[in-house]
Structure 1
Amino acid sequence: MSERRLYLDRGIGETRGVVTLDGRPERLLIARDGGSTTAKLGARLVGRIRKVEPAFASAFVDLGGVEALLSFKPEARPVEGQSLEVEIRTEARAGKLATVRAIGPAEGAPRLLTAAPDIAEQLAGFARNVQLVEGREARRAADEAEADALEIVHPLPGGGTLAIEPTRALVAIDVDVGERKGQDAKRVTRQANLAALAVAGRLLRLKSLGGIVVIDLVGRGHDGNALMTAARAAFAPDNPGVAIGPVGRFGTMELTVPRRAPPVAELLCDAKGRLTDLTLGLRLIRAIETEGVAQPGARLTAVCAPEIAAAAQPFAAGLAGRIGARFEIRPDPAAPRERFDVSGR
């Protein structure tokens, strides 16, 4: 039976929540201080219909400086200028607006009515009656989840690998049998494919990826019924909204998985796939805090690239509140951008 555990890392500058499935990270939730809470998943707002597009059965909704998209049925077409109470169904992501569902009529200017659930509340919804773990163990779980979420190639239990690469149109998943051992090739490929489906479901949730997903299975002559059963089990936590197609003639399985939150990589990385200065600055703050706990009373020096020092500086006061003003962040133009050194004396 699968076991889920919940972790909450209350860091300086950001809070991270992790769900693990049988010891491996399954979901990673990140909320950064100062971020907009208007169009977060589950928030309820009054929105005003700005423009109706009958040809696409969609309307643009002004949420108060933020725009979202509302799909409607012909018999429930809204009117431009109308106010509606709406709930965020999916958050905005690169090149895409947030989407909302209509709850009912409303009055007044666009505004937030009910904030989205915070990370602790979201975690509780993924595993009921499970105690929330905080502290050092939660930080380790969050760091591991971040690292896994940014990897492309992942190992499969029993051998082989799974590669996940999002594109503009879809998410491509490649299964490789690698050095998985066994004399019966058909049995080996069957086991690899079944393992890959379970791992793919977990990793897509971890990376917060969805939409059209194409899985390139290994081998030929697939057991379609077994693979369909495995896929339904692997993606059951993503329902409602999952649709799974049969294995095609070219050995691929296609499915659609609902998108609800933006990909983790969009938050942590820039358009070129590099970790942002803010991501690295927050990692530096956590590293100094960890060293400060390990060396109580020591004077700490963190050496890093100038842009990372600048990104970390706004969080220095919060760090001083936890470990005391006994650290220095020293910018060094020669320091590698994604590496920093924290030492005590």
Structure 2
Amino acid sequence: MSARSIALDHLGGAEAAASLVSGQLDDLLIDTDLPRPGTIYRAIADRPVKGQGGMFVRTPDGPAFLRQVKGLAPGQPILVQVTGYAEPGKALPVTARLLFKSRYAIVTPEAPGLNLSRGIKDEDLRDSLLEIAHDALGGQEIGLILRSACADADPDAVAEDIRAMHDLARAVLADAAGQGPEKLVEGDGPHTLAWRDWVEPADVACRPGSFATLGVLDQVEALRRAEVALPGGGSCYIEPTRALVAVDVNTGGDTSPAAGLKANLAMARDLPRQLRLRGLGGQITLDLAPMPKKDRRAFETALRAAFRADPVETALAGWSPLGHFELQRKRDRLPLTDVM
């Protein structure tokens, strides 16, 4: 029996997937009725935004905002891909750099060249995968990245995945000059994302009711509360506001000289998981428990190590004049409170 478990079920009628490590909820994906990240549109350029180098474009699902636009005139069709969820009152974020992503392969039409994940270390395996890729592409020039999951995959499955993503990319690019806004590719839902991105060995439960059987429902309910208990008796409160996400760390009953550092380190190790499960992003401010300035380096080291393994892009901005630590995190999920 694996230490990892994946449950494919539904929450409130919406498709959902949960990843657990030794029974603890590690990741959670819940579908919504909003455009999914990864969705590809043929959009129509609408109006430029002076001073920001961007342009609003029209899609079948409403207005979207495209950054860093050059040479695009109003009325011109352009292929765009949804990169995340829109903040309240703002347009859908999109990019013109398309990615066709699957379990083993990522096709990158705007970035030619064949690349392999740095996680694949074995040189013989790398050479073998390059041969598979060349054969699957049939000598055609297109950008391709082979993901780390290829290391333990069946060669035929890798080749089939490459061909499928290549064919999809060609079909979409051929439809770029059509008339009017149109959805060309639907973004992946939670069950497909689980198959695509959760590639480590795991026991998979896909029967209805698997969330209840594996204890997912109780852990999801606990995420509705701001308080998070930390090892060693401390706690932290994770509270989103309109402007930012505030994280307040407390030492609890520990009055030892190292209590602040211990609570802060415990929070740092669990923070990526908590933010991931709660679907929180944007500006994040950490109001840490009191600790000497000499301990800041140890805290930063622990925080960077924790976020290094997190799939959501997060920038560690550093210390504020008031002694808070600040982060900036990509909004690639909706807050759990909004989804449920």
Provide the TM-score with structure 1 as the length reference. 0.68
Question: Residues 269 and 302 of structure 2 are in contact (CA less than 8 Å); yes or no, is this contact kept in structure 1?
Answer: yes
Equivalent position of 1:205 in the other structure: 276
Question: Residues 45 and 87 of structure 1 are in contact (CA less than 8 Å); yes or no, is this contact kept in structure 2?
Answer: yes
Equivalent position of 1:309 in the other structure: none
Q: What is the 5 A alignment of 1:79-158?
A: 79-103=73-97, 106-108=176-178, 109-128=180-199, 129-135=201-207, 136-140=209-213, 141-158=215-232
SS of the aligned residue for 2:261 comes to helix
Instruction: Determine the C-alpha separation between the residues in 1 that align with 2:4 and 2:282.
Output: 25
Letter of the 1:64 partner, please give it.
Answer: P
Letter of the 2:243 partner, please give it.
Answer: A
Equivalent position of 1:278 in the other structure: none
What displacement does 1:260 show? 0.7
Give deviations 1:159-212, integer Å, cap 9, x for gaps: 1111011111111000011124x6x322x2211111101222111100110111
Question: Residues 11 and 30 of structure 2 are in contact (CA less than 8 Å); yes or no, is this contact kept in structure 1?
Answer: no
Distance 1:191 1:97, change over 3 A: same
Question: Residues 9 and 139 of structure 1 are in contact (CA less than 8 Å); yes or no, is this contact kept in structure 2?
Answer: no
Say yes or no: does 1:179 pair with 2:179: no
Distance 1:54 1:217, change over 3 A: same
Equivalent position of 2:233 in the other structure: 159
Distance 1:160 1:122, change over 3 A: same
Give deviations 1:64-122, integer Å, cap 9, x for gaps: 1422111115xx24221111111110122423332111037722221111111121121
What displacement does 1:227 show? 1.2
Letter of the 2:317 partner, please give it.
Answer: G
- Number of matched residues? 258
Equivalent position of 1:55 in the other structure: 51
Instruction: Determine the C-alpha separation between the residues in 1 that align with 2:210 and 2:59.
Output: 39
Structure 2 unpaired stretches of 5+? 99-172
Say yes or no: does 1:45 pair with 2:41: yes
SS of the aligned residue for 1:159 comes to coil
Structure 1 unpaired stretches of 5+? 269-345
Provide the TM-score with structure 2 as the length reference. 0.69
Residue of 298, 309, 316 corresponding to 1:226:
298
Equivalent position of 2:123 in the other structure: none
Letter of the 2:41 partner, please give it.
Answer: L
Say yes or no: does 1:256 pair with 2:328: yes
Instruction: Determine the C-alpha separation between the residues in 1 that align with 2:312 and 2:71.
Output: 24
Give deviations 1:212-232, integer Å, cap 9, x for gaps: 111011113142221111111
Tell which has more relative contact order, 1 or 2 (C-alpha 8 A, sep 6+).
2
Letter of the 1:46 partner, please give it.
Answer: R
Letter of the 1:139 partner, please give it.
Answer: A
Distance 1:48 1:256, change over 3 A: same
Question: Residues 215 and 253 of structure 1 are in contact (CA less than 8 Å); yes or no, is this contact kept in structure 2?
Answer: yes
Q: Percent identity?
A: 27
SS of the aligned residue for 2:65 comes to strand
